[in-house]
Amino acid sequence: MGWRLVGKRVAFTVNGQWGTYAEYAITQAAVCVPIPDDMTFDQASCSFVNPLTAVAMLEDTKAAKVTAIVHTAAASQLGRMMVRYFQTNGINVINVVRRKEQVEILEKEGAKHVLDQNDPEFT
């Protein structure tokens, strides 16, 4: 299986640990996910971990039988993904951001509830 990955860029784990970044590493081929040549490292970093995080968070939310969550740093790539994914699955997201521009970003994503923590009326 490993020969298929020779010369390719991959996302991977090492000894079950996430968050590893290196130009070279030794790991098992089974824990490698190829990154397409036309994808930047920035894009790749958001396309592997963030979707799995959003899925896991939604599953935890459903298991807890809640109808809404509060998410801070909500204008991040993960936060924007959560807005779409959670709303599609019937869970309201109360998004907390730091700046007015971030409110607008999330509203364009379809967010229904966005709070700017630096707004004078935020309490």
List 97's β-bridge partners, or say none: 116
How many CA atoms are closer than 13 Å to the CA of 64, on its beta-carbon side?
11
Report the mean per-residue pLDDT for the chain: 88
Q: Which domains does the chain have, with CATH numbers?
A: 1-38 (no CATH), 50-123 (3.40.50.720)
Dig out the tokens for 102 from the structure: 């971030």
Residues 56-111: pLDDT tens digits?
A: 999 999 999 999 999 999 999 899 999 999 999 999 999 999 999 999 999 999 99
- Give pLDDT, residue 123: 74
Phi and psi angles of residue 35, each rounded to the nearest 5 degrees, phi first: -105, 125
pLDDT at residue 118 is higher than 90: yes
- What burial letters (b/e) apply to 60-73, b meaning 16+ CB within 10 Å? ebeeeeeeebebee
CA atoms of 46 and 31, how far apart (whole Å): 18
